[in-house]
Structure 1
Amino acid sequence: MPLTHRPVDEKDIQIICGFPQSEDELFFLFPKAEFPLSSSQLRDAIAQRSDSSVVELGGEVIAFANFYRWESGGRCSIGNVIVSPAARGRGVGRYLIEQMIALAFSKHQAAEIIVSCFNQNIAGLLFYQKLGFQPYAIEERQGRKGNRIALIHLRLSRNAT
C-alpha cells in the first residue's frame, strides 16, 4: 500500500497527539509542550506554522511535520516531526521529510532547508545525516530538568539534492 501525504485536518489532531510515547519524545518533537501532548497545544503550534502535513497509509494518519520558519527564496525550517510508534522504521520518516523538502523547494523556492535535533536524539541525528543534512551549528539549550543540552542545527542546500 503506497504512502500518501496531505495538509493536516482537524480530525487528525487527536491522532497526532497520541504519537509521542514519553516526555523525551515530546521534547524532541515540541520542546515547549507539556506531556501528554494536548489538542490545544498542537492546534496552537499549527496556527503559528506553515504547511502542517500528515502522511497516511491506507487512510490512517501515521506521521506529521510542518515548517516553523519559511522565507520565500531563503530557508525553510522543518519542525514538529513525528512518526506513529507503529509505523517507525518502515521508511515513513524518509517519505515525510522528502515531501517537506519538495514543498520547501517548490512552494517556497527555498535555497536551503534546516532541521534541528537535540544531542540526545541519536536516531534523529543519524536519520537526517542519512538524508544529506549536514551539521553547521550547535546551540546550548536547557533540558526539561534544567540540564545543559545541545541543539544541533543541520542544513540541506537546494544544490545538494
Structure 2
Amino acid sequence: MTSKDARTADELLNAVGPAFSKLRRTALLEVENPVSAKDLSRTLVLNIVLEHSDDSEVTVGMVAEILGVDPSVASRMVSDNIKAGYLLRAASQQDGRRTVLKLSPEGVALMERFRKHQRDAYDYITAEWEPGEAVEFARLMLKYVDSLAGLKDRKRVEDA
C-alpha cells in the first residue's frame, strides 16, 4: 500500500479539484495521432457545438456562457475555428437575424480524431490498472458529469 492509498476520505476529496486541473494540462499524451495544442483548444468550442446542436441553436453567446468567458473571447475562439475550417456560420431557422454555428465536415473529422485520441489516452493511462477499474472509473466519471446538469435546478430550489 502506498502513502497515496492511505489518504483519508477528506484528503481524497480535497485532492479531486487539483486532479481535474491536472487532467487538462496532461491531455497531450504522446499517443498515436495526437491532436495539436491549437486544435485541442479548438475542440472546447467544437465540443459545445457538437453537444448542443441537436437540442438548440448554438450561438457565440451560448459558447461564452458555457465556457464562462466574456463574449468577445468566445467570438475570437469561434472566429479561429471558422478560419481553420472547422465551423460554419448559418442563419437561424428560428430567427433569420441570428447567426448559429454548425460543424463543417472538417470539424466533424477533427472531433472524430479527437474522440479516438481521448480513448487512446484513457487506455494508455489506465493500462496498468486492476481489471475493471478503468470501466468503473469511467462509469463514476460519467455519473459525476451527468450530475452537473442538475446543479442549476438545485441552486434555484435552494435560492427560493
Fold match, TM over 0.5? no
Which of these two proteins has the greater Rg computed from alpha carbons?
A: 2
Question: Higher strand share goes to which structure?
Answer: 1
Question: Higher helix share goes to which structure?
Answer: 2
Structure 2 length as normaliser, TM-score? 0.30
